[in-house]
Structure formats: C-alpha cells, structure tokens
Structure 1
Amino acid sequence: MRAIGLMSGTSMDGIDAALIETDGETVSWLGPSLTLPYDGAMRTLLEGAMADAVGVNDRDSRPGRLVEAEQRITTLHAQAVRALLDTLRLTPGDVDVVGFHGQTVFHRPEAGLTVQIGLGSALARDLGLTVVADFRAADVAAGGQGAPLVPVFHQALVRGLALPAPVAVLNIGGVANVTVLDGDADPVACDTGPGNALIDDFMAARTGRPYDDGGRIAAQGTVDEAALARLLAHPFFAAPPPKSLDRNAFRAFVAQHLGLGGASTADGAATLTALTAASVAAVVPLLARAPAVWIVAGGGARNPTLCAMLEQRLGRPVRSADAVGWSADALEAHAFGFLAVRTLRGLPLTFPSTTGTPHPLTGGKIFRHC
C-alpha cells in the first residue's frame, strides 16, 4: 500500500510529511518527504495550547487555546499533504491512507491520559482520503505508556541491515526515545529522557533563536559535570523500560537542580546537550546487552556536538539514519505511514516490551472520507 505519514513532534518546529510503500510488515520503499515549518505565531500558539492543557483530565476537553490550535494543526497538515503530492505530481487517488499523529500537548500515562490534537475526520474530508489518527489512546487506556510507537517500524527496517546486534535506533526530537533490537527477540523500547526540548527552550530564552544550530553554541561551552550528576539522580533514569515522558516533564526539575541563571549561554547549552547524551547512556545498564551500534534520527542527528557526546558516553559507533539509507529528518513521518497501514490491516502497534501494554495491541482510529 502507498501511505503518507505525518509527524508534528515535541520539538514543535514543523510538520514532516513522507511517502512510504509498505504492507505494514515489510517496507518496500521509503519515499520522498518534505517539511512544512511552523512560523513564530504557530509556535507561540502551540506553546500556549500546551500551557492550557496542563491539568486536563478528559482527553476530549479543549480549554483555552486548544480549540484554535487543533483547527490550525489540521489545516496545516492538509497543506503538508497537498504540498507533498504536488511535488511528486501525484493526486489523492494515488495514495491509500494517511497516518496523522497530530500534536501531543499532554502525556501522562501514569494518569491514564494522553492528548494529541488534530481532527482526523476533518482531515479525511478535506483531503478526500482515508486517515488513521489517534494512535496512542488505546495503549494508554489498556495501561501502557502510549510511547514509543515506532519500534515495530524500526524492527522492519533493521531486518534489512547487515549490522552487528544488538542495534539501537535512537530518535532525538523534543523527547528522545530508543528501540533496541537483538535478533529475533522482542524489541525493547522507551523514552530515554530530554531530547532537544530543554536545549531549544534555553536557546529561545537566551538568544531568541529556536535551537542551537548544529550544536555550535554548546561546542563552545563547558559541561557542568556536578550539576549533570544531580540531574541524573532523577528516578526516571534508573527505572527500567518501558517508560515515557511528557515534553515538559523535566523542566521544573532542571530549573531546580541545574541553576542556569548564572551560567553563560555556551555553558548552559553544553550542559543541557550533555544531559541528553548522558540520559541516553543511562539506559544501557538497564538492557540485557549493550547495543553494538546506534542509529540516530530526528533533529538531534543534525547536531554534531550532541552526536559526538553520544559516541563518547556510549563508547560505540553512532551513525546517522541517513548513513544507513533512511531519512534522519523524516523517519518518524515514514513510521506513521507504516503504522497507518498496520491499523488498516488490524496488526498490533504496541507490545509489552515497548510500552508495557499487557498484550500486543492494535491502535489508531480510522476516518473515511465519504
């Protein structure tokens, strides 16, 4: 089947749209992709919507700016699909399904609640296509973490690589998550800790720029190792997989224990970048075997300073997804195309070893355009 996957991640920098051909078990083709960046006004709206989502106890509730943000998110995702189709000279009739993740604004699986905004029914009507959305709800309702969702996709991709096992696939968006694949064993997966979110927020506050481009500011700074050790004492890092995080889960803890107010911009960026790398390394002792190779995707793959810190702390080769024939930028968008096809076929998306759900579980809601 030919699918378009859509992803607006926790970095809140834009929408990735990617074409994929798959039967939901194997991947025939990782097709082209594009990114529709968010402008400053949209980022501000999403930040406000996330603030208004704090304290929500009903996943259908849309207080404050969430109504406007959900409508706008849906419209922009439709634009991203059309832009990708136009670029490829395709029509909606050339596509079987769209996988629409939406924008996570609240994720508290321990409270049985995860909220992704985006109107699947409206997107289906607008595009004239079948849309699969709301991928996380069923897993969380069953007692799972609701994240990460992509390990079954990583497993399909890694089967095509000649790499020593175990292989770790690390996605660094706003939050970082990892899938560890060791032969025929079930994949093990979890969120590892902060990805780019804390770095991005710090850079925006200090410089007005939305991120540390290429890690250049962090490369000029010195890591506060004592502060880093205090942060790594957080109980999340010692908890075994599966486990997951909200984008802002560590914001208050870092503000309390890191004390960036007196740090230079370079030193603050360096320490937060080291936190991302060190929190990834902290998962290794929790695994049955240390990964032999790490494949990195997401925005973090474009940060040489972060990748160098990862390689140093992991003591293993760290490769970009691009280097193994995947797309570092579009891997999660490709994944949601893959997951949409699995939903149509009734195949499970999540597993006890990836989200802690009590049994392999299907997910996603299907919205028909007619």
Structure 2
Amino acid sequence: MATYHVIGIMSGTSLDGVDLAYCRFTYNDDNWIYKILNTETVPYSNIWEKRLAGLTEVSAAEIIATDRAYGHYLGELTKDFVTKNNLEVDFIASHGHTVFHQPQLHITFQVGSGAYLAAEAGLPVVCDFRALDIALGGQGAPLVPIGDRLLFSAYDFCLNLGGISNISQEGPDHRVAFDISCCNMLLNPLAEQLGQPYDKNGDIARTGQFDQDLFDQLNEPAYFTAPSPKSIGKEWADTYSLKALQASNATVEDKLHTACHHIAWQIAQSVRRYTPQGQGKLLLTGGGAFNSFLVEQIRYYLGPNFEVVVPEPELVNFKEALIFAFLGVLRWRQEPNCLRSVTGARHDNCGGAIYWN
C-alpha cells in the first residue's frame, strides 16, 4: 500500500480562477482510492484576468515574463493554502494556464513556471504534462482520461463542462476521449455582455428563443464529425464558434439559449457515436454542471435511457484539479499518465517535469 498527499492546481480556459485541491491517494490491492481533503478557488483579479487573456497578442519576452510571474503567483497561493489549512504535502501537481494549443504545429504552452512555483511554495512540483505527448506525435490532450479510468470506473462516461466540453469513455479495447466543443468559452462572454460574469443556473438562456440559423452555423465546422483523437484550443474557438456568435444578429438571450442547445446536441452526438445500445451512466462535472438549463438540454438530447449524474459540488468544481494531482502521482511513480488511444501519440507515456525544491 502507498499513500500520497498532493495539491493539484488547475486553471481553465474560462479564466474563472485558480482551483487548488489537497488530495489523498492510496494504492491498495491494485486499486486507487482518492479523497479530496481541502479545496479553494481563488478568483483572478482584473489585472491577472486581462494579462492571461491577452497573452496571444504580446511579445515573446512578455510571455516569458508572465510565465515566471504566474508561477511565482501560484507559489504564493499554494503557500497560503498550505499554511492556513496546516497541510502536510508530498508535492504539487500543476497544469498551468494554457496560452497556445496547436498540436498540428507541435505547439502547446502553459504559463506557470514550475521552477518559480517550487521556489516560492517550498515544495517539489510536477508540471508541463503535455509536452512529451506532443513530442511523441500526440495531441497533448486530453489528459484526464487516465484518471477517469482509474478513479471513476463506475461510470460509462465522464463529461466535463469547462471552457471546453470533453468526454472520456472505455471502448472495447482502449480508452476513447476527446474535446467535444466550446462550452463556457461561449457562454461566459455572452453573459458578460449583460453585466454578469456567467449565466447563473442558465436563467438568462432560459428566457431566450431558439435560433435555427445560429444553431446550424455553430454545428457547421468539420471538427465535429472528424474522428478522434482531436482537441480544441482558444485559437479554434476564436476562428469558429466565437466568430459565429459575433456575426449573428440574435439577441444575447437568444444566443445563450441557442449555444446551450448546440453544446448539448454535440454532447449527445458524441455519446451516441460510441454507444450503439443507446444507454449508459454519465458523470457530469465542471462549472457548466451548475447551469440547470444546459443540463436539462443534455438530458433531453441524450434521452431517458441515459443516467446523467451531477455529483456533490466539491467534485463538480475540483475534479480536474483532483485528476491533475493524480497525474502527478503517476509521474512521481514513473507510470504512464497519458494514453496514446486518446492523444494519438506513438505510445502511452509518462509526461511531466519535476522541480525539486
């Protein structure tokens, strides 16, 4: 039996804040058991939100400077988190914040220097989880499926609704996983046009009307019918989904309503593609799981034979941070933490750089 106490750190594409999850993992009788012990989400200040959101438009020197500064910032947050909760930590596992993700060009980059994080927090750090998979010809994403397989095997599907919606399921002979579509990357900017950081419970979307033309345009990109492995980055969102929303003359309420239908419809298409029997049990996590209107549409498009499970809020909010902590454990043990079947790499691999403080 082996036990690890790890802090997982995650920042999603929706820029709603930094998630920290202090987790315990125990390996016993060929099974992994997890427990989330302490959690915190630190919202971004306006300065950090603007700085991170604008990184695709600045110089290389500014990107490098932000990488260091953001790593230092994550170290400060972690040190405060450890101190106020009196935690005993083996190491930190940090995803960082994605700036570029263009795997077809062998590019993926997350700011949040592991060296600066380790120096400030005073703890070892595992980071840079995607680079090795990209070097091996993979997408460098999704990374969560190995955690879904080993921690959440009771579910047929694991669906995360973050800035991007992504899904993971066990196929006949290997794990299948991919990004489905943009999610909160579409919904949050629309809510911001009405002075809200997000559409709480989907209440604004519920007041809108369905726009068939916009729905068709959102569903038009060839990505949706392309086979996996595949993944989406901010660049893709700007070129396709966000561009379609900006070009539409619909009201913001109608755009939110229609975007929720688009997200749910694409989820149902993806699930049914891998489920000939038309039934299954689906775990739903990520910030979008709190959008009641969106969840209703997912249940509607999937139909009554699918059980959609929204777990306790802590798991909804911190599942990705939990799994990145787990990826860190696998890297620490020098075991595969990235599956070729979902990324398209030449072989399963053990990604991540380790900085010893």
The TM-score normalised by the length of structure 2 is 0.91
Provide Cα deviations, 1:279-332, integer angstroms capped at 9, x if missing partner: 212212432545512211111111111111111111122221328xx6110111
Assess if the C-alpha contact under 8 Å between 2:200 and 2:291 holds in 1: yes
In structure 2, the residue matched to 1:281 is: 268
CA distance in structure 1 between the aligned counterparts of 2:181 and 2:79, rounded to whole angstroms? 34
Q: Does 1:180 align with 2:137?
A: no
Change (3 A) 1:73 1:209: farther
Q: Which amino acid in 2 is paired with 1:216?
A: D
**Secondary structure of the residue that 1:207 maps to in structure 2?**
coil
Stretch of structure 1 that moved more, 353-362 or 4-13 = 353-362
Alignment match of 2:50 (pick from 44, 52, 61): 44
Q: Which residues of structure 2 form unaligned runs of 5+?
A: none
Does residue 269 (structure 1) correspond to residue 256 (structure 2)? The answer is yes
Shift of 1:9: 0.9
Q: 1 CA distance for matches of 2:97 and 2:321? A: 13
C-alpha distance in structure 1 between counterparts of 2:186 and 2:140, whole Å: 22
Q: Is the 8 A contact 1:242 1:356 kept in 2?
A: yes
Q: Could you say what secondary structure the match of 1:312 adopts?
A: helix
The answer to whether the Cα contact below 8 Å between 1:23 and 1:342 also exists between their aligned partners in 2 is no
1:11 aligns with 14
Of stretches 129-138 and 347-356 in structure 1, the one that deviates more from structure 2 is 347-356
User: Which position in structure 2 is the counterpart of 1:198?
Assistant: 186
Indicate which of 161, 170, 189 corresponds to 2:159.
170
Q: Are positions 1:336 and 2:324 aligned together? A: yes
Paired position in structure 2 for 1:127 = 121
Residues 242-278 of structure 1 deviation map (CA, whole Å, 9 limit, x = unaligned):
2101024133323554565521121011112222212
How much has 1:20 moved relative to structure 2?
Answer: 1.4
Q: Which residue of 1 aligns with 2:109?
A: 115
Q: What is residue 103 of structure 1 aligned with on the other side?
A: 97
Shift in CA distance, 75/147, structure 1 to aligned 2, threshold 3 Å: same
Aligned to 2:350: 362
Q: TM-score, normalised by structure 1?
A: 0.88
Residue 322 of structure 1 pairs with residue 322 of structure 2: no
The 3-state SS of whatever aligns with 1:241 is coil
The CA deviation at 1:150 is: 0.8
Structure 1 range deviating more: 348-357 or 104-113: 348-357
Distance 1:122 1:251 in 2: 31
Q: 1:127 Cα shift?
A: 1.5
User: In structure 2, do the counterparts of structure 1 residues 120 and 291 end up closer, same or farther at CA, with 3 Å as the change threshold?
Assistant: farther
Shift of 1:7: 0.2
1:203-230: CA deviation from partner (whole Å, max 9, x where unpaired):
22x2243321221111110121332123
SS at match of 2:340: coil
Identity %: 31
Q: Tell me which of 190, 210, 216 is aligned to 1:229.
A: 216
Unaligned runs of 5+ in 1: 53-61
Deviation at 1:366, TM superposition (A): 0.6
| Equivalent pair of 1:168/1:293 in contact (CA under 8 Å) | yes
Q: Could you tell me how far 1:185 is from its partner in structure 2? A: 4.2
Distance 1:310 1:65, change over 3 A: farther
Tell me the equivalent position of 1:55. none
For residues 187 and 102 of structure 1, the distance between their equivalents in structure 2, rounded to whole angstroms, comes to 25
Write the distance in 2 (CA, Å) between the matches of 1:22 and 1:192. Answer: 29
Residue 64 of structure 1 deviates from its aligned partner by 5.6
Q: Does 1:139 align with 2:133?
A: yes
Q: Is 1:76–2:73 an aligned residue pair?
A: yes
- Whether the 8 Å CA contact 1:45–1:65 is kept in 2: the answer is no
Aligned partner of 1:57 in structure 2 is none
The answer to whether structure 1 residue 244 and structure 2 residue 231 are counterparts is yes
Distance 1:291 1:188 in 2: 17
**Contact 1:97 / 1:132 at 8 angstroms: preserved in 2?**
yes
Q: Distance in 2 between matches of 1:309 and 1:33?
A: 30
